[in-house]
Each structure stands twice: as structure tokens, then as C-alpha cells.
Structure 1
Amino acid sequence: MFLKTGLIIFSTFILSCGTTEKQTQTTSTEGTTTNQETVDPQKMMEEGYLLGTIVYSDKEGDCPYTIQMPGDKMEFYYLDPINLEEAFKVDGQKVWIKFNGLRRMNRCDKATPAELVDIKKGG
């Protein structure tokens, strides 16, 4: 009993000690390097954003672009964004998103249809 309670308190403490530092992104174009300040992950989560990864697929039955989202127990689920802008169609790009699930037929086998309410580049 005490072991479980102690483990829960310890886990809560460890998870709440996450970093709240802002991440910076360095880009380099033709000899010039610029630092762009990206969003604070803690702030984004507080505002209701979720971090996902753009995934490209050319397999039959798959959507060309999906967003891989973290799920329970270290598993993933995929969203099929019906309104993904061209600027975000980059395989492996991290994005912060807010979305609404859609009640419609799936366009592909592995992903659930979703409408993106807002999307921002992730870190």
C-alpha cells in the first residue's frame, strides 16, 4: 500500500519537473545562420495543442500525409487531416496541432479523418 502511494507521488513529482524552457530553432541559408524562437512546449499543451509528426506514405490504401500522434502506453494513432496546408507536407516534421475529429468515412486504412483548427511548426 505504502509502496504504491510512494510510487504515485514520486511519478507525479518527476513528471511535473519537466522543462519549461523555450526551444530555439537554428536555420542556415547560404552562409547566414539565424535563430528563431519556437513556442514553449508547456505553454502549447496548456493552450490545448498536441505534438504530432507528419508522416508521408505512398503505399496503396494509405493517405499520402497523416499526422502520427502519441497514444496510451507508448502506442501511436494517426490522423488524416483533410485541410493540411502545403507548407506542412514535409515527412518527419514536428507540428503542434488543435483538431476536431470528423464523423465521416475514412479515406485511408490507418488514419482517422480530422479537421485541423490550428497548426504550428514544432521543435
Structure 2
Amino acid sequence: MILVFFSAIILSCGSTEKQTQSATTSETTTTTETSETVDPQKMIAEGYTLGTIIYSEKEGDCPYTIQMPGDKMEFFYLHPINLEKVYKKDGLKVWVKFTGLRRMNRCDRATPAEINDIKIGG
């Protein structure tokens, strides 16, 4: 099942062209350009997993979690304790390497985790 899931992710990602993201605030304008193409097979081989940043205002939820693929096409959620501000965008796809933490959950549905490496992805 996991092989089927990752195959579906790889096929749905296709090729990524040059992306330009612009964020405008009242004081400054910031532009980030990504010219490299993300190869899903390479990322998986390097130990990354594709996830989606989820923002929530519900009581008991953490403000930002990462929705990760689980077994049988279900999802689980990580509460990243060290998520940088640049990645705090609802719906942002990220490639992430993480370590689960053995500490008490602060959120109802998310497991605490430390981000070892994270990259904007697919």
C-alpha cells in the first residue's frame, strides 16, 4: 500500500517549473524564487516525506501542524516544535525529515516532532 501511495504522489507531482512567490506587507515586499526542480523519487530516497502545512484556529488544535501520509491512505498530524515562520502558510506542500518527540501532546490530534530538515515541495 505504501508503494502505491508514493507512486500516486510521484505521478501527481509531475514536473515543477520555475516558481515565484511574492509576499507583500505594508512595509516591505519580499520575493522568493525557486529555480530548481524537486525530484520526488530523489527526495523519498533521501528520507524526506511529503506533507502539507495545516493552519487551525479550533480550540484544542495547534495553530500549525503538518499533515503526513499514513497507512491505508489515511493521515496523521505532526506538531513541529521548531517550524520556521517562512513555512507557516496554510496548504503549503513541504518535504520534511523529522524526529518524533517523547513528550506530552499539546494538541488534540497532533504528535510533537522536531523538524530535522524541511524544503518547499510539490
TM-score range, shorter chain: 0.7 to 0.9
Alpha-carbon distance change, 87 to 48 in structure 1, aligned in 2, over 3 angstroms: same
Provide the rounded CA distance (Å) in 2 between the counterparts of 1:28 and 1:113.
29
Matching residue of 1:36? 35
Tell me which structure has the larger Cα radius of gyration: 1
Q: 1:24 aligns with which of 1, 17, 26?
A: 17
Unaligned runs of 5+ in 2: 23-32
Q: What TM-score, normalized to structure 1?
A: 0.76
- The two structures, once aligned, show a CA RMSD in angstroms of 2.4
Please identify runs of 4+ aligned residues in structure 1 that moved more than 4 A: none
Q: How does 1:1-123 map to 2 (within 5 A)?
A: 15=7, 22-27=15-20, 36-123=35-122
Count of aligned pairs between the two proteins: 105
How far did residue 39 of structure 1 move? 1.8
- Unpaired runs of at least 5, structure 1: 1-10
* Percent identical residues: 67
CA 1:100–1:87: 2 relative to 1, 3 Å: same
